[in-house]
């Protein structure tokens, strides 16, 4: 062993006049998505936990999920010989905060965490994000299993490498890249979800359809059944997750690809924050995508028809399309400066057609546009001027 170290040291001695050394490490990470109805109470996903029976694990959830599923999941884990503690937080976006993060750390450390412990995040996007961030920072990373209980989380928050909490200045400003070893997607958990939450989750499915898959868009456009229909939910979840996984499997060198799932998110996150989270994530992103369609039209990369498709599909699923009157243009322009992809200008992909994104004219190999504030301001006004049209859509929807 010493001879290997000596050889390495000899080959890397610092030259007296240069003083330059480099080091690097590549880590291959993998997340397995388990998808099946009733899959939460099947044993396949808990195999890694059963290999760590001597360690204590932590079931993190909010109070609403605790009442619905907490005791049943806790009993299932105990029946499989696991040492588990429940850690409960308040429901809602406000729990994605430094204060809740600190409380979770204190609770878990006090209960007895070690390097082989797992955090099981049972809940929607808030629980998935904050528990994921805790897992990524304890001992520089302990085990993480995501168990999303909302459509939004099953399509988006849990299917990602990104963990984050909010700051007073904006959404997801404090975070890390950290993979769950498993994501357990059980659509049966959605049967207790309020209809508004289902619609919010569909906002993410619509996003992937708009930027990646015209066939999925047509499927959503033509669907007129019950949003709780199991076959419909299966189709939406599987097709959307497949689209997102395609993006996540790309090389980390392809930085621009990370921008695709962020379509509509810069303005959407600003609206979430400025509404004090009265707007749900999918609702805010729906408005954000409508504004982005205005921008694409103003910049000449897509037609009026594509822009109208944005408004029509959101209205069909009763998602908002117009910026609320109580949020000013100035506050939106200020808020998007805190977006993680903002660099002197708003940076975003734009749709050229339904199911495809536009290329930048100056460099066809690029598809991230730098959008000046004056263009954004113009398009915020164009969006607001559609209020009367939006009201007519609502009246028509009620009659039909």
For residue 44, what are the CA distances in angstroms to 34, 57, 160?
8, 17, 21
Chosen domain end from 155, 176, 191? 191
| Selection from 353, 307, 51 nearest residue 212 by Cα | 353
Q: Distance of alpha carbon 250 from its chain centroid, rounded?
A: 17
Distance CA 37, CA 366 (A): 40
Query: Is-contact 186 37, C-beta < 8 A?
Result: yes
Predicted local confidence at residue 151, as pLDDT? 97
Say what the pLDDT of residue 173 is. 85
Report the pLDDT value the prediction gives residue 136, as an integer from 0 to 100: 96
Whether 163 and 46 map to the same domain: the answer is yes
pLDDT at 137: 96
Are 282 and 392 in the same domain? yes
Looking up tokens 């992103």 gives 285
Same domain for 225 and 154: no
Q: How many domains does the chain have?
A: 2
Please report the pLDDT score of residue 4 as a whole number: 57
Looking at the structure, tell me whether residues 216 and 164 fall in a common domain.
Answer: no
Asked whether the beta carbons of 189 and 69 are under 8 A apart, the reply is yes
Both structure tokens of 298: 């103003």
pLDDT at 338: 82
Residue 373 has, within 13 A of its CA and on its CB side, a CA count of 12
Q: Are residues 290 and 181 in the same domain?
A: no
Helix (H, G, I), strand (E, B) or coil at 258: helix
Find, among 92, 34, 43, 85, the residue nearest to 63 by Cα. Answer: 92
Say how far apart CA 225 and CA 391 lie, in whole Å: 23
- Same-domain status, 182 and 289: no
Range of the domain at 41: 32-191
Same-domain pairing of 212 and 167 = no
Within 10 Å of residue 331's Cβ, how many Cβ atoms? 14
Alpha helices in 66-194 (DSSP H): 71-79, 98-111, 125-137, 151-152
Residue finishing a domain among 147, 162, 191:
191
Question: What does the pLDDT profile of the chain (400 residues) look like in tens digits?
Answer: 556 556 555 555 555 666 678 888 777 888 999 999 999 998 789 988 989 999 999 999 999 999 999 999 999 999 999 999 999 999 999 999 999 999 999 999 999 999 999 999 999 999 999 999 999 999 999 999 999 999 999 999 999 989 999 888 888 889 999 999 999 999 999 999 999 999 999 999 999 999 999 999 999 999 999 999 999 999 999 999 999 998 888 654 456 677 888 999 999 999 999 999 999 999 999 999 999 999 999 999 999 999 999 999 999 999 999 999 999 999 999 999 887 777 688 889 999 999 999 988 766 668 889 899 999 999 999 999 986 444 444 433 344 3
Neighbouring CB atoms inside 10 A of 312's CB total 12
Residue 5 lies in a domain: no
Do the beta carbons of residue 268 and residue 332 sit within 8 Å? no
Which residues are within 8 A (CB) of 307 and not within 5 positions of it... i.e. 6 or more apart? 293, 294, 296, 297
The sign one gets for the Cα dihedral 261, 265, 266, 269 is negative
């Amino acid at each position: 062993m010493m001879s290997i170290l000596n050889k390495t040291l000899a080959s890397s001695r610092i030259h007296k006049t240069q003083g330059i050394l480099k080091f690097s490490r590549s880590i291959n990470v993998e997340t397995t998505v388990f998808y099946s109805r009733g899959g939460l109470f099947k044993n396949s996903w808990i195999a890694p936990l059963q290999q760590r029976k001597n360690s204590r694990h932590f079931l993190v959830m909010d109070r609403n999920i605790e009442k619905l599923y907490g005791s049943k999941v806790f009993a299932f884990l105990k029946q499989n010989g696991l040492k588990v503690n429940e850690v409960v937080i308040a429901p809602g976006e406000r729990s994605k905060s430094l204060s809740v993060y600190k409380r979770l750390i204190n609770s878990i450390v006090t209960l007895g965490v070690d390097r082989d412990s797992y955090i099981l995040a049972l809940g929607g996007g808030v629980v998935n994000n904050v528990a994921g961030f805790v897992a990524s920072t304890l001992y520089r990373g302990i085990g993480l299993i995501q168990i999303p209980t909302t459509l939004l989380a099953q399509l988006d928050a849990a299917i990602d490498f990104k963990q984050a909490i909010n700051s007073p200045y904006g959404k997801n400003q404090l975070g890390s890249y950290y993979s769950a070893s498993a994501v357990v997607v059980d659509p049966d958990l959605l049967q207790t979800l309020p209809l508004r939450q289902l619609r919010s989750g569909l906002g993410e499915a619509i996003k992937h359809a708009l930027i990646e898959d015209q066939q999925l868009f047509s499927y959503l456009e033509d669907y007129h059944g019950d949003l709780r229909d199991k076959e419909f939910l299966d189709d939406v979840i599987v097709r959307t997750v497949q689209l997102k996984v395609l993006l996540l499997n790309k090389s980390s060198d392809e930085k621009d690809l990370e921008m695709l799932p962020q379509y509509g998110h810069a303005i959407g996150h600003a609206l979430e924050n400025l509404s004090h989270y009265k707007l749900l994530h999918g609702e805010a992103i729906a408005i954000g995508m409508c504004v982005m369609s205005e921008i694409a039209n103003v910049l000449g990369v897509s037609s009026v028809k594509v822009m109208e498709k944005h408004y029509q599909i959101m209205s069909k699923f009763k998602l908002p399309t117009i910026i609320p009157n109580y949020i000013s243009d100035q506050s939106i322009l200020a808020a998007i400066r805190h977006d993680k992809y903002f660099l002197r200008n708003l940076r975003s992909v734009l749709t050229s057609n339904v199911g495809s994104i536009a290329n930048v004219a100056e460099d066809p190999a690029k598809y991230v546009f730098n959008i000046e504030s004056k263009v954004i301001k113009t398009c915020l006004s164009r969006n607001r001027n559609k209020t009367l049209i939006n009201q007519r859509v609502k009246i028509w929807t009620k009659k039909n």
